[in-house]
Amino acid sequence: MKNIFIILSGLVLTSVVGCSSTTLIETQYRDGKYQRNHYSKYYDDGSYLIEKDIAVIACVDHVKKNIPVLYDLKRWLGALGPSDMDAKGLVTLYFWNLGEKDYSLDVVSVSNGNSPEHTLSDFNGHVSVPAGNPRTKYGVVPGMLPIDHYGKEIHLTVVTKSGATTMTNRFVAQRRTFEELKQFSKRITPYPWIKP
């Protein structure tokens, strides 16, 4: 009887505690063989905010909580429903000062380009980016945006002010595979301002 109680308690606890389901496995048939991509929960894209002076990377951390036993049962029965397509993305912006002048920036808003009605603007977006150390990054966390749970890219529009100048940058944050993340850990990135 005691063993049954322990097993049932474990099942109930597992069902109550939500687990993250934020990775994606995609299998494609190309050139006569199957190719499997295992995507992580991280998305990113970067560009110059102020040419040759300020670089920015927009990062999104995919967030989706599920109740493990219930989710697996619903998937097995084919009863997931439309809400399974929805997830949240925690947006973080990182800035690097590559020039010789100090900058004071204000991130005014961040929106999901696919759903412009979802705009983050009620956050402290002020960041000081001093000159002198191009390897140092400075971050701002605007908050959570709705994203597609099975998507591989997120279109973001970021509005930033520096003094009286307003800048609008558009990003297509790509969902990174685990292979790409291994390269990133060696500082091999698509961003020229991050040097190995």
Tens of pLDDT, residue by residue over 18-39, are 344 566 677 778 888 888 888 8
Q: The whole model's pTM is what?
A: 0.79
3-state SS of the chain: helix, strand, coil percent to 5?
20, 55, 25
Q: What is the per-residue burial (b if ≥16 Cβ within 10 Å, else e) of 115-136?
A: eeeebbeeeebebebeeeeeee
pLDDT of residue 51: 87
| Cβ atoms of residues 152 and 175 within 8 Å | yes
Which of 11, 51, 20 is closest to 167 using CA atoms?
51
Residue ranges of domains in the chain? 2-185
Average pLDDT, stretch 168-187?
A: 90
Look at the block and give the residue holding tokens 């959570």.
Answer: 144
Per-residue pLDDT tens for 65-100?
766 666 566 665 665 656 666 788 999 999 999 999
Q: What angle do CA 169, 124, 193 make, to 5 degrees?
A: 45
- Bridge partners of 28? 35
